Amino acid sequence: MKQLFMAGPWITEHEIEVVTDAMRNGWYENAYHYVETFQKEFAAYHGRKYGIMTPNCTTAIHLLLTGLGIADGDEVIVPECTWIATAAPIRYLRATPVFCDIEPENWCLDPESVRKSITPKTKAIIAVDLYGNMPLMDELRAIAEEHGIPLVEDAAEALGSVYKGTRAGKFGVGSVFSFHRTKTITTGEGGMLLLDDDKLYERCMFLRDHGRAPGIAYFNTEVTYKYMPFNLQAALGYAQFQRIEELVGKKRELLAAYRDRLKDIDDLQFNNEPDYVINGAWTTALVFGKSHGITKAEVMRGIEERGMPSRPFFYPLSSLPAFPGAKERYQSLNRTAYDISERGINLSCAMNLTDDQIDAQCNAVREILGR
Ligand SMILES: Cc1ncc(COP(=O)(O)O)c(C=O)c1O
């Protein structure tokens, strides 16, 4: 069996041609041609007015939180289980991440936990579409509106997901996507911020390029960031975006293949897809029900012993040394997050995965469970 990777893209001659065109022609008057085209079409696809490409998704979150005025002493609500990139920009701004519990079904932000965590200092709520799953957006939107707090959607893992007929990326005041080399559409490193509000868009554009005064060359009115995208990155992103249905289709096929091969085993939970959701299935997550009496560490060790990689379900952020003191405060509050995380793994989502490799991972899971 050829080497199995956890993640990786699907690059065709089409991408090579478009990137080659950017190399040959994407300079001078065309220096931002692909950036502008990609931003515009990606935003329109998601029903948004504006797209702002960034060097990665982490910087897109940082840009948006800064644009929303998050600063020292503010609190921002995030789910426990997500990649640290959701919360790190809150700390860059010297604000405080407030970790909320997750739902047992969709592994995303639990609205009740959010409700209990709101204080006068809460300045934003970031909902994360984990592994392509969709949070209870209606409930989260209602809470945000009731309290006048902006909702932000971290859709980094949810390209192609749909909630009640609306695409992931259309929720809240702004949403972000990642085009990291492991994501469904890749630019190697890259991200996108989607917005609808004119003022917030102008502010974020200003913040993205060193606080230049509009219309006056080299005249900076604030010290801000340099989060400009590169046309070559955007050319790759645009070419991949032109194949979005095919790429998301492949991800959904992989999820279905894993599900099918393990369907006779009870008490396994895969990516959540209730009838009002289409799951973009960025990666396949598998949570072992309590009846199996097994932890993620045990399963991962078993897969490794069979010569394959796997990844842990995200650790609760509050359990990480990166947030000192948080575990003591949150462990007893966010019980679902601590429980699910302990029992979950990710299987490979590489776009070059073969049937043999899917079989090998599923057979490993079967052996480990004694099935
Ligand atoms: C949920 C989530 N948010 C944010 C990010 C950050 O993306 P990037 O690596 O492009 O900065 C990632 C992925 O890495 C992610 O999975």
Return all residues near 175 (Cβ < 8 A) that are at least 6 apart. Answer: 46, 48, 152, 153, 154, 155, 168, 169, 193, 194
When divided into structural domains, the chain yields a total of 2
Q: What is the CATH number of the domain that holds 330?
A: 3.90.1150.10
Pocket test residue of 178, 183, 184 for ligand 1, highest count of atoms within 8 A of CB: 178
At 367 the pLDDT is 97
Nearest CA to ligand 1 atom 4: 85
Return the sign of the alpha-carbon dihedral for residues 89, 95, 99, 102.
negative
**Number of separate helices (H) and strands (E) present in the chain:** 13, 14
| Number of Cβ within a 10 Å radius of residue 200 | 18
The verdict on residue 312 lying in a domain is yes
Q: Are residues 84 and 172 in the same domain?
A: yes
At 76 the pLDDT is 99
Length of the chain (residues): 371
For residue 107 and ligand 1, the question of a CB distance below 6 A is answered with: no
The verdict on residue 305 lying in a domain is yes
Q: Are residues 122 and 257 in the same domain?
A: no
Q: Are residues 208 and 273 in the same domain?
A: no
Pick the last residue of a domain from 183, 217, 241. Answer: 241
Local confidence pLDDT in tens for the 371 residues of the chain:
899 999 999 999 999 999 999 999 999 999 999 999 999 999 999 999 999 999 999 999 999 999 999 999 999 999 999 999 999 999 999 999 999 999 999 999 999 999 999 999 999 999 999 999 999 999 999 999 999 999 999 999 999 999 999 999 999 999 999 999 999 999 999 999 999 999 999 999 999 999 999 999 999 999 999 999 999 999 999 999 999 999 999 999 999 999 999 999 999 999 999 999 999 999 999 999 999 999 999 999 999 999 999 999 999 999 999 999 999 999 999 999 999 999 999 999 999 999 999 999 999 999 999 98
For residue 318 and ligand 1, the question of a CB distance below 6 A is answered with: no
CA of 159 to the centre of ligand 1 (A): 12
Closest CA to 156 of 83, 246, 233, 77: 83
At 1 the pLDDT is 83
Distance CA 184, CA 111 (A): 28
Domain ranges, residue 327 = 245-369
For residue 154 and ligand 1, the question of a CB distance below 6 A is answered with: yes
The verdict on residue 295 lying in a domain is yes
Element (H, E) at 53: strand 50-54
The verdict on residue 4 lying in a domain is no
